[in-house]
């Protein structure tokens, strides 16, 4: 199936001309190039995210794109099969990173760091079945923010949610919801419902499907495939339908069954504490305690969260519902200890923003609005209407570069004035400095405003200052 | 030899404690992590480079970290053995990119782009013998700038040199020199000296060693290993000792032997034209026409260039000479045609800045100056001297975040004032907003200047404005 999909894609992307071609002109399956327009949008999105991370006092680190294979082994459960291995060319066995969390834990253990607040924006790799139209790729960016260190409970967790809230608000992606749960509440719930210990994981993965499947289907899977008694499944169904906030945590703390479980109690107390902080941060309008949230990865130990876009009401009915997860995270207090030679743990909490889907949305929105995206920042074009002025154009251009002005000149000996002006209109260059024999003799330059076509004579000595003035006003 | 070096390095990097450890805690051979301080320096260097690229009207693109194996095959000559292949896990055969130039050519051909001025900053991968102390890694950044398109001769080539000049000047790395030559001059020179056609490549690679070896050694290699008659080697020696500028190109155009070669004549005319433009750009003080420059890669077809740091006079005599190449490039008019199904060519010229060595130098300089590098941008810490004010601190912090201020609060219920102030001094946070019972009653905050320890009472309503004022002044 995967191979078939690949074949189709290959066929689609192959050069369509009659000629066979010497090369298969494509990027690898599940990957893509970014063109200048996409890069301009990407830069804008990254700036918003980075600014928020910096506002929250984070440092940044970087790690290699590949790790020793053994570093990644045993961290991702089932998903390990999606890891890209490098060919054994003699030397170490290497794999491309699957996420930024495991390299972060390796970094902490290796450098014996016990507290840090860091962000990391980089590409990760998964040999998944790509669905590129929905923003799912094999090579994609993650933007991770994590807090490592022993602190008073739930304060860093609350800050993580605050940052997700800020970023999704600033990116203006329409409505969103941040779901919160706790791994210990899930485990406690399974326990009091009578799920055998060795089935926690598999039942958890059924629960995880509730964002895409109806309860009836999930129940069937639990009973038919996973062998749970129907009564147990029904009891789980009762719990996982619950959504709320602080008051739900308080209510469940009194729940006769759930309160029998130590882990569940600890989780519920933390959720209650968390919602207290979220109230101070004024973000409870978008955060919901949702007992059906069950994130797959092995390494979570406490709070877990996931942000989903819920549409902005502008799309068709179908598109509005569950556009999908754009961020996820949680607490993983045991991961660093897996790397430390003495098993010393460093408590961690963090999240990752899956940026590809966000790019797609921002790209679509930009196109829909008909906004023209500039891909350069050029402020002025140095042009001439007459022939044989290449040297004078180059000289003036260099003067402007040296003054820190973003300037462009055509690589032609005798370009037409019209084509120089057209280039400005096409690429959004706001000013043109026009040179001619007469201007050179008079020591002036004609400065043209591309938008309103007004031209004024400026003395060569005042040109830099005038351009800077015009730019700062626009 | 390579394996031995690797073994040593592995031993050095293994955890030094008595415990054996469950994992080998290291990054793969030839790679490294960047810690927050290194990232702060890296960001500064990238900003300088990116600003120069943008000043020269460049757009940016991105390509995947791996390409189809066949895309990279046959582009790097001997160096192909340094390419990292991915394991065949079913599906396409993939390799990590070796540089950014071949992916750029693939991008142009695939999208039928015939002109673009673009930069690309990204990591590339070479299974080389790393010498990390000298800034040589297996995973390293390249900053590439290239101009593709059919233009009047040598104008984009001259702009490339101008940009290299600007960047190396702005980065303040000490003296540097940009060597220029032309592949056609080298070929013509070999031809008129009587080197057989099939030995051009191997003799060229001997010439390439002249930056590290004496002429006598290179001559011995040519005669003993490569079988050139001594008279031929001597004649080459005569030419490759020549260095100069415009006047050297003019002189060689009259050279009775060299002027017999069509390619050499074409190359010399272009060098002459180039130096004319370099004079207009006022950069001839650092650019030298050097007939011994012979860059290895197969794909160059015309002008080639390389920038070397020559030391700033502050190091010991040995360090001063040839600190090494930090940038290289040239014209490659045939590469895109290798990808185009119909063999259509797009003329290209560009260069790459090898950034790792530059990072090392900037890092060393920063340390030598004793400058403290800030790794966060936090503007204010929200602190209290009294107990039980966590909620008030969180509330105020959120207010400041919402106002766009970079603010930090300790994740402790009752931190000591001293430890809060110490954190500010250690990380360079300039301001502290201190809350206490009395301040809360009075609706004020004590704003403390960390540097001079002055404290003033500011009303809560004016706090944001006051912080912004102080920040903009500093």
Q: Is the pLDDT of residue B303 over 90?
A: yes
Q: How far apart are CA A135 and CA A132, in angstroms?
A: 5
CA–CA distance, A89 with A290 (Å, rounded to integer): 48
Residue recorded with tokens 């037409």: A416
Question: What's residue B15's pLDDT?
Answer: 39
SS3 of chain A: CHHHHHHHHHHHHCCCCCCCCCCCCCCCCCCCCECHHHHHHHHHHHHHHHHHHHHCCCEECECCCEEEHHHHCCCCHHHHHHCCEECCCCCCCEEECCCCHHHHHHHHHHCCCCCEEEEEEEEEECCCCCEHHHCECCEEEEEEEEEECCCCCCHHHHHHHHHHHHHHHHHCCCEEEEEEEEHHHHHHHHHHHCCCHHHHHHHHHHHHHHHCCCHHHHHHHHHHHCCCCHHHHHHHHHHHCCEECHHHHHHHHCCCCHHHCHHHHHHHHHHHHHHHHHHHCCCCCCEEEECCCCCCCCCCCCEEEEEEEEECCCCCHHHHCCCEEEEEEEECCCHHHHHCCCCCCCCEEEEEEEHHHHHHHHHHHHHHHCCCCCCCCCCEEEEECCCCCHHHHHHHHHHHHHCCCCEEECCCCCCCHHHHHHHHHHHCCCEEEEECHHHHHHCEEEEEECCCCCEEEEEHHHHHHHHHHHHHHC
| Tens-place pLDDT, residues B425-437 | 999 999 999 999 9
For the ranges A311-325, A385-399, A460-474, the lowest mean pLDDT is seen at A311-325
Selected residue of A46, A70, A91, A392 to mutate for chain B interface (largest B Cβ count, 10 A)? A91
Higher pLDDT, B14 or B59: B59
Residue A64: which of B27, B60, B401 has the nearest Cβ? B27
Q: What digits encode the pLDDT tens for the residues A6-28?
A: 333 333 343 333 344 455 799 99
pLDDT, tens digit (0-9, with 9 covering 90-100), for A261-284: 999 999 999 999 999 999 999 999
User: Does B27 belong to an annotated binding site?
Assistant: no
Identify the DSSP state of B78: G
pLDDT digits (tens, 9 = 90+) for B345-384: 999 999 999 999 899 899 999 999 988 899 999 999 999 9
Tokens at B221, concatenated: 């290699």
Indicate if the pLDDT at residue A1 is higher than 50. no
B344 CB neighbour count, 10 Å cutoff:
12
Contacts of A26 in chain B (CB under 8 A): 68, 110
Placement of tokens 């409970």 in the chain? A153
Answer yes or no: is pLDDT of B326 > 50. Answer: yes
Q: Which of A36, A94, A390 sits opposite B118 (nearest CB)?
A: A36
Count how many residues are written for chain A: 474
Residue B320 has pLDDT above 50, yes or no: no
Supply the pLDDT for residue A323.
64
- How high is the pLDDT of residue B103? 97
Work out the pLDDT band at B12, boundaries 50, 70, 90: very low
pLDDT for B7: 36
Determine the pLDDT at residue B76.
85
Q: How many CA atoms lie within 13 A of A266 on its CB side?
A: 12
Confidence of residue B17 (pLDDT cuts 50, 70, 90): very low
Per-residue pLDDT, A22: 53
Q: What is the pLDDT of residue B324?
A: 81
What is d(CA B15, CA A340) in angstroms, rounded to the nearest whole number? 9
- DSSP track, B335-358: HHHHHSTT-----EEEEEEEHHHH
Listed in sequence order, the residues at least 6 apart from B303 whose beta carbon sits closer than 8 Å to its beta carbon are B154, B157, B180, B181, B182, B183, B267, B270, B271, B274, B330, B331, B349
Burial of B314 (0-12, 13-18, 19+ CB in 10 A): exposed
Chain segment A60-117, per-residue pLDDT in tens: 999 999 999 999 998 887 789 999 999 999 899 999 999 999 999 999 999 999 999 9
| Chain centroid offset of residue B265 CA | 33
pLDDT of residue A273: 98
Residues A407 and A381: beta-carbon distance below 8 Å = yes
Per-residue pLDDT at B319 exceeds 70: no
* CA distance, residue B435 to nearest chain A CA (Å): 16
**Whole-number Cα distances in Å, B301 to A229, B187, B334:** 74, 10, 7
**Statement: residue B134 has pLDDT above 90:** no
Between CA A61 and CA B39 the distance in angstroms is: 6
Task: Give the chain B residue nearest A124 (alpha carbons).
Answer: B65
Tell me if B376 and A54 make a contact (CB, 8 A cut-off).
yes
> What's phi and psi for B62, nearest 5 deg?
-140, 150
- Please, what are the domains in chain A? 9-13+23-369 (3.30.930.10), 380-473 (3.40.50.800)
On whether B332 is known to bind a ligand per the annotation, the reply is no
Contact yes or no for A55 and B401 at CB 8 A? yes
Higher pLDDT, B6 or A399: A399
- Going by C-alpha positions, the residue among B115, B109, B118 that lies closest to residue B75 is B109
CB contact under 8 A, A89 and B127: yes
Q: What is the dihedral sign for C-alpha A203, A142, A347, A162?
A: negative
Whether the predicted pLDDT of B13 surpasses 60? no
**Tens-place pLDDT, residues B138-193:** 999 999 999 999 999 999 999 999 999 999 999 999 999 999 999 999 999 999 99
Residue A320 has pLDDT above 60, yes or no: no
B8 pLDDT more than 60? no
In this prediction, residue B23 carries a pLDDT of 57
Q: What is the mean pLDDT of chain A?
A: 91
Give me the interface pTM, i.e. the ipTM.
0.90
Which candidate from A15, A61, A342 shows the least CB-CB separation from B19?
Answer: A342
The per-residue pLDDT for B314 is 53
Chain B contacts of A341, Cβ < 8 Å?
15, 17, 19-22, 25
Arithmetic mean of pLDDT, A339-361: 93
Per-residue model confidence (pLDDT) at position B317: 41
- The Cα B400–Cα B179 span in angstroms is 53
Residue A459 has pLDDT above 60, yes or no: yes
What is the per-residue pLDDT for A280? 97
CB-CB neighbors (< 8 A) of A408 in chain B: 56-57
User: How far does B383 lie from chain A, in Å, by closest CA?
Assistant: 15
């Amino acid at each position: 199936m995967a191979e078939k999909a690949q074949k189709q894609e290959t066929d689609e992307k192959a050069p369509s001309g009659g000629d066979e071609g010497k090369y298969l002109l494509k990027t690898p399956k599940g990957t893509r190039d970014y063109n200048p327009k996409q890069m301009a949008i990407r830069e804008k999105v990254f700036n918003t995210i980075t600014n928020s991370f910096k506002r929250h006092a984070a440092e940044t680190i970087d790690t290699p794109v590949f790790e020793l294979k053994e570093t990644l082994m045993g961290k991702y459960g089932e998903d390990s099969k999606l890891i890209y291995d490098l060919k054994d060319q003699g030397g170490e066995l290497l794999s491309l990173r699957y996420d930024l969390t495991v390299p972060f834990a390796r970094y902490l253990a290796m450098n014996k760091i016990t507290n840090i607040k860091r962000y990391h924006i980089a590409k990760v790799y998964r040999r998944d079945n790509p669905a590129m139209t929905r923003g799912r790729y094999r090579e994609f960016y993650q933007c991770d923010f994590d807090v490592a260190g022993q602190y008073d409970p739930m304060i860093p967790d609350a800050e993580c949610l605050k940052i997700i809230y800020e970023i999704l608000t600033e990116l203006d992606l329409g409505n969103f919801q941040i779901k919160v749960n706790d791994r210990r509440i899930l485990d406690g719930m399974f326990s009091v419902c009578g799920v055998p210990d060795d089935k926690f994981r598999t039942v958890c993965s059924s629960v995880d499907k509730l964002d895409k499947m109806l309860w009836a289907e999930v129940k069937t899977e639990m009973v038919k495939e996973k062998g749970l008694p129907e009564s147990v499944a029904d009891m789980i169904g009762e719990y996982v339908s619950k959504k709320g906030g602080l008051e739900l945590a308080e209510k469940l703390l009194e729940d006769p069954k759930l309160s029998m479980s130590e882990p569940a109690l600890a989780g519920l107390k933390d959720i209650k504490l968390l919602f207290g902080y979220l109230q101070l941060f004024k973000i409870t309008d978008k955060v919901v305690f949702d007992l059906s949230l069950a994130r797959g990865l092995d390494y979570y130990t406490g709070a877990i969260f996931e942000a989903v876009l819920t549409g902005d009401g502008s799309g068709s009915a179908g598109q509005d519902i569950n556009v999908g997860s754009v961020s996820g995270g949680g607490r993983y207090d045991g991961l660093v200890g897996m790397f430390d030679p003495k098993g010393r743990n460093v408590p961690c909490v963090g999240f990752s923003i899956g940026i590809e889907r966000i790019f797609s949305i921002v790209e679509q929105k930009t196109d829909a609005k008909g906004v023209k995206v500039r891909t350069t920042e050029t402020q002025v074009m140095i042009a001439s209407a007459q022939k044989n002025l290449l040297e004078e154009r180059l000289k003036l251009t260099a003067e402007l570069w040296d003054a820190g002005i973003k300037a462009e000149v055509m690589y032609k000996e005798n370009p037409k004035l019209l084509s120089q002006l057209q280039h400005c209109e096409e690429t959004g260059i706001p000013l043109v400095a026009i040179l001619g024999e007469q201007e050179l003799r008079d020591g002036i330059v004609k400065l043209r405003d591309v938008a309103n076509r007004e031209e004024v004579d400026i003395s060569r000595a005042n040109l830099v200052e005038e351009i800077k003035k015009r730019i700062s006003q626009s």
